[in-house]
């Protein structure tokens, strides 16, 4: 009798492949994690559908995160912190995606354009832009990651209207960095398409875009109306960025000198 009941239980229940909970076979979805409660053979159509639902669905994942990070960033930040992990892309994934876009697409286009441009050697020294491009693509992401804890501390020290912890400030600033990358990518693609000559002011416009986006982002997240909060954040950010850039510049200069000496030998 016990064997009969055990056999019946095995035939009417299934172990969820996602959370490993026991689920009745009659249930279409697992009540614990929401995964589909049946084994479906993998097909190309199914794989394409799952990919589109995860990455191209306008109401969740990457598209939703991009859309709302530029309109209502507080929804993304608070939503992710409060557990809405399926709605929004994680901050680390969002930053990596934006960095990949900048590194693999944007700077390759800029380098190709510089190689074909009419800029003289007095404007850009021979090989300097290539050295900068190579250094940027190799060290841009580590540099961003290095600055994030300092920027998180700066925002925590500047804005008191919400009681975010330091890790939560790290989350919101990671989202901001990713948004800045996407904005910079769009702006530079527009420049390359419509203003192909001259690169002297690209960094100035990038800084202005970053300033406007950061102010909008912090205002939406913290709802602070105190101008002093934004001034304090700007001062702390400037000190942090200047200090780390100097360290990065010195290390990169030493690296180039060592490489040049090694090449000469």
Least confident of 199-203, 245-249, 251-255: 199-203
Residue-wise pLDDT tens digits, 207-235: 788 889 999 999 999 999 999 999 999 99
What local confidence, expressed as pLDDT, does residue 120 receive? 46
Q: Whole-angstrom Cα distance, residue 15 to residue 25?
A: 9
* Total-model pTM: 0.68
Which residue did the predictor score with more confidence, 74 or 208?
74
Structural tokens at position 124: 């850009």
Q: Which of 76, 106, 107, 105 is nearest to 93 (CA)?
A: 76
What local confidence, expressed as pLDDT, does residue 214 receive? 92
Domain ranges of the chain: 2-39, 90-264
Residue-wise pLDDT tens digits, 115-162: 554 444 444 444 545 555 555 556 667 777 888 999 999 999 999 988
CA atoms within 13 A on the CB side of 239: 8
Residue-wise pLDDT tens digits, 161-209: 888 999 999 999 999 999 988 888 888 777 777 765 555 566 677 778 8
Structural tokens at position 94: 């969002």
């Amino acid at each position: 009798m016990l064997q009969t009941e055990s056999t019946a239980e095995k035939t009417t229940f299934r172990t969820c492949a996602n959370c490993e909970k026991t689920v009745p076979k009659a249930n279409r979805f697992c009540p614990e994690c929401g995964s589909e409660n049946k084994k479906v053979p993998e097909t190309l159509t199914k794989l394409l559908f799952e990919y589109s639902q995860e990455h191209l669905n306008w109401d969740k994942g990457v598209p939703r995160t991009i859309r709302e990070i530029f309109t209502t960033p507080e929804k993304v930040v608070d939503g992710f912190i409060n557990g809405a992990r399926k709605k929004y892309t994680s901050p680390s994934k969002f930053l990596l995606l934006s960095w990949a876009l900048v590194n693999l697409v944007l700077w390759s286009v800029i380098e190709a354009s510089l190689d074909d441009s009419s800029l003289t050697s007095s404007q850009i020294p021979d090989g300097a832009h290539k050295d900068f491009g190579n250094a940027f693509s190799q060290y841009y992401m580590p540099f961003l990651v290095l600055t994030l804890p300092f920027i998180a501390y700066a925002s925590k020290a500047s804005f008191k209207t919400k009681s975010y912890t330091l890790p939560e400030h790290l989350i919101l600033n990671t989202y901001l960095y990713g948004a800045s990358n996407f904005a910079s990518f769009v702006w530079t693609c527009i420049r390359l398409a419509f203003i192909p000559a001259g690169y002297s002011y690209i960094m100035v416009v990038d800084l202005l875009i970053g300033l406007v986006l950061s102010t909008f982002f912090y205002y939406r997240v913290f709802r602070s109306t105190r101008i002093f909060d934004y001034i304090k954040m700007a001062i702390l950010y400037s000190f942090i960025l200047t200090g780390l850039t100097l360290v990065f510049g010195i290390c990169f200069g030493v690296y180039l000198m060592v490489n040049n000496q090694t090449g000469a030998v």
